[in-house]
Amino acid sequence: MDVRKRQPLGIELVKRGIVTEENIEEALQEQRRSPNKKIGEILNDLQVCDSNKLIEAIGEIVGVKGIILTPQSVKIDVLEYISLEIARRNKAIPFEVENGKIKVCFSDTTNLRNIEAVRLLMLNKGLIIDPYITFGNLLEDILQTLGGTSSRDMSRIGQDDNMTEVVDSIIKTAMKKRASDIHIEPEREQIRVRYRIDGELFTETSIPKEKQSQLIGRLKAISNMHQEKQESQDGRILLYDDYNIRVSSQRNVYGEKFVLRLLKKNANIRNIFELGYPGTEKDLNRSINKRNSITVIAAPTGEGKTTTLYSIMDYLNKPEINITTIEDPVEIRIDGLNQIETDAKATFSASLRTVLRQDPDIILVGEIRDQETAEIAMQAGQTGHYVLSTIHTIDAVEVITRLRKMGLPDYDIASTLATSISQRLVRRLCPKCKKEREFSQEEKNIIETLGKKYNVDFNLKDAKTYDACGCDYCNNTGYYERIGIFEILDIDDEIKELIMKSASSIEIKKHALTGSYRPLCIDGINKVLLGYTNLEELNRKILMF
């Protein structure tokens, strides 16, 4: 049956005599309280009919087979066919292989993107998927089992434990798992704890709702926050020798949510080329280390702009050069740099004015957020200094548009902007468990199409790629750490002239492509061919196909 033409699921079930209209009304009321739950799962929870008949009817309605998925239904080693991270993201579990077909159970078959991602993955393994549907909570239970013992062990925390020990356990486990952030989120019936690892959020555990006030009290106590205040607050946890932990609280409908950002105190600054910066040292020197100019790094939040800035600063840092940074906050302290932290009294723009009187050679401005900061940064670049900063835009060419929208005249942009660099972070394949294979013809077609579009000849002869599998080392995700993909726009004389003529970003990009500029996808494909990542992860990040 064509999903797009069928009636709402509830009406279809009533028509088939599986449930009554009263059952549907009761389920809809429950769904208003739990909007993330599917109507079928709610009907099953309410036990208004036989579970097997219900899921079989749902399967017929959506055009696949319905099944009550249990651990006994799973006849294969799931992680041999799909990584835990991919299974979680697509809410899919392969459970049986027979005659070149693999049975895969989904909790939502209307999400065609998830099904297509799993179909391609299995196709690359020489298998055709036979899709099934089950209730979401049954699938989640099996995913939890696949996750190993740590999640099950942590799921009991808060029952009888001392809250000091609970919070300490959550934080230390996050450190062990390389999490960058901890999300502690009150919900209607529990408190959810999630970790962000390599840019992705994973649910780690839950804490009983009755422990909420104790948990919040402990977090506020160690973060130096006001206990009685329930509006947004910021704090810091300084109890751990190797970490500074920034804490943010925000009230929601079920209580106060906390996000803990874990910052390693003495983190090593990685070489700019280790981060994935393309080209040679000669190429890098052509793009940075200039006088009377500004270099801007552009990317959305969480895509590694600050890390790249630190690596460039470390590369440029020499005793004969006076480097000053203005940051919010100072995340890593570097010997030889004069690092200034902004606050409510010392903003970026106010600090930048003062810094200009400190005889700097190079100035790092953590972020260009407004017209005032942009104007002073441009002024600094025009008076003999080299300025590095970041900005939020989607690509390197759009930096010009963003600066225009901040009110900067085309003359200042053309005369001062030397380089704009856009970047994203993609996850590296786990070196312990990645599996080599040939590119499928479909993948080769994608790469060749993009190569023709941007006049790049990718050598696919004997090229290999890798599947993300999952092991203990990578927490069963198939990926370990991240690498940058970059696009670099060097502002040459022709681009300066186009800016002065108020040319659009489309015109500027068209000219840039005749030179050395190539978009993010090109560097991304090079990283795939080098075996750092794969097309699935690259497409997840920048949507190439």
- Residue-by-residue pLDDT tens, the chain, 545 positions: 343 445 688 888 988 899 898 888 888 888 887 777 788 888 988 888 888 999 999 999 989 999 999 888 899 988 888 888 788 888 999 999 988 899 999 998 888 888 988 998 898 888 999 999 999 888 988 887 775 434 334 544 555 568 888 999 999 999 988 999 999 999 988 999 999 999 988 888 889 999 999 999 999 999 999 988 888 999 999 888 788 899 999 999 999 999 999 988 767 788 899 999 998 898 898 888 677 899 999 999 889 998 898 899 888 988 899 999 888 777 777 888 898 888 767 777 888 888 888 888 999 988 898 898 899 889 888 888 999 999 999 999 999 999 999 999 999 999 999 999 999 999 999 998 999 999 999 999 999 999 999 999 998 988 999 999 888 888 888 999 999 999 999 999 999 999 999 999 999 999 999 999 999 999 999 999 999 999 999 999 998 87
Q: Do residues 163 and 248 share a domain?
A: yes
Q: Do residues 116 and 161 share a domain?
A: no
Q: Do residues 316 and 375 share a domain?
A: yes
Q: Do residues 322 and 460 share a domain?
A: yes
HSE at residue 20, side-chain half, CA atoms within 13 A, is 6
Q: Select from 264, 290, 317 the last residue of a domain.
A: 264
Q: Is residue 270 part of a domain?
A: no
Q: Do residues 434 and 506 share a domain?
A: yes
- Looking at residue 258, which CATH number applies to its domain? 3.30.450.90
Q: Do residues 355 and 393 share a domain?
A: yes
Q: Is residue 385 part of a domain?
A: yes
User: How many domains would you assign to the chain?
Assistant: 3
- Looking at residue 504, which CATH number applies to its domain? 3.40.50.300
Q: Is residue 371 part of a domain?
A: yes
- Looking at residue 122, which CATH number applies to its domain? 3.30.300.160
Give this prediction's pTM.
Answer: 0.72
Q: Is residue 4 part of a domain?
A: no
Q: Select from 264, 290, 318 the last residue of a domain.
A: 264
Q: Do residues 160 and 48 share a domain?
A: no
Q: Select from 264, 291, 314 the last residue of a domain.
A: 264
d(CA 383, CA 367): 20
State the sign of the Cα–Cα–Cα–Cα dihedral 202, 206, 209, 215: negative
State which residues form the domain around 138. Answer: 9-145
3-state secondary structure of 526: helix
DSSP codes joined into one string, 35-67: TTS-HHHHHHHHT-S-HHHHHHHHHHHHTSEE-
CB atoms within 10 A of CB 66: 24
Q: Is residue 392 part of a domain?
A: yes
Decide: 82 and 102 in contact? Cβ < 8 Å.
no
Q: Is residue 175 part of a domain?
A: yes
Q: Is residue 269 part of a domain?
A: no
d(CA 366, CA 399): 16
Q: Is residue 405 part of a domain?
A: yes
